[in-house]
Copies of this chain bind each other. A is one copy, B any other.
Amino acid sequence: MSLPEVTIHLPEWVAQTVDFERAYAGDQEKMRLAIELSRQNVVRGTGGPFGAAVFERGSGRLVSVGVNSVVRLNNCTLHGEMVAFMLAQARLGSFSLRSADGTEHELVTSCEPCAMCLGATLWSGVTRLVCGAHRDDARRLNFEEGPVFPQSHPYLEERGIEIVHGVLREEANAVLELYRARKGTIYNG
């Protein structure tokens, strides 16, 4: 039999929402993009209320974006962060975002990563993680975070990943609330 395969693609509206050629300055501007992605994902009905983006550090160049695509693509691994990592590595042609030439990257995500995405953050090679909503904000909607413990974030920090919490938390949380108001699917395993 022919071997199965899986294709991961963004919703069509992303092409109108995102300017892949521009550079972003500062955490708030980058977070605004991640939140806008999460909001559009809810409004357009293409998935859960989570968006993320990978940027080159220093230049602020946008490398990739991701939106939660679990239900749209029938794939439990496709949280926004995972999609952003996959597309960034495809664009750079490397399984690590820590380049040999010293270029570093960061992940900006509209909500603190779950256990899977935290693990992937370590494997991705990013050296900085910027979070919007708190994991408690997601839990209020019954989105589980999985096996994340008090040692989890320090584990990443000890391995050279800077973690920033609560950037535009209120705006990020507003999208979670919007999703709840629209009675969006809560799709834990």
Question: Across the two chains, which residue of chain B brings its CB closest to A73?
Answer: B95
Do B117 and A146 have beta carbons less than 8 Å apart? no
Cα A8 to Cα B77 with chains together (Å): 13
Closest chain-B Cβ to A106's Cβ sits at a distance in Å of 13
Name the one of B64, B95, B155 contacting A74, with C-beta atoms under 8 angstroms. Answer: B95
Chain copies in the assembly? 2
The answer, yes or no, to whether A168 is at the interface (CB within 8 Å) is no
Tell me, yes or no, whether A181 is within 8 Å of chain B by CB.
no
Alpha-carbon distance A153/B77, docked complex (angstroms): 19
Q: Are B188 and A123 neighbours in the complex by a CB distance under 8 Å?
A: yes
| Identity of the chain B residue whose Cβ is nearest the Cβ of A86 in the assembled complex | B6
The reply to whether A93 and B74 form a contact with Cβ atoms under 8 Å apart is yes
Interface residues of A in 74-127 (CB under 8 A from B): 74-77, 82, 85-87, 89-98, 114-120, 122-126
> A89: which of B10, B21, B76, B147 is its contact (CB, 8 Å)?
B76
Please state if A7 and B4 are interface contacts (CB–CB under 8 Å). no
Q: How far is the CA of A118 from the CA of B6 in the complex (A)?
A: 21
The residue among A2, A118, A120, A147 with the most chain B CB atoms within 10 A of its own CB is A147
What is the distance, in angstroms, from A107's C-beta to the closest C-beta of chain B?
12
Q: Can you name 15 A-B residue pairings with CB atoms under 8 Å?
A: A4-B10, A5-B8, A5-B9, A5-B10, A6-B87, A75-B89, A77-B86, A77-B123, A115-B147, A115-B152, A116-B117, A123-B189, A147-B149, A147-B155, A149-B151
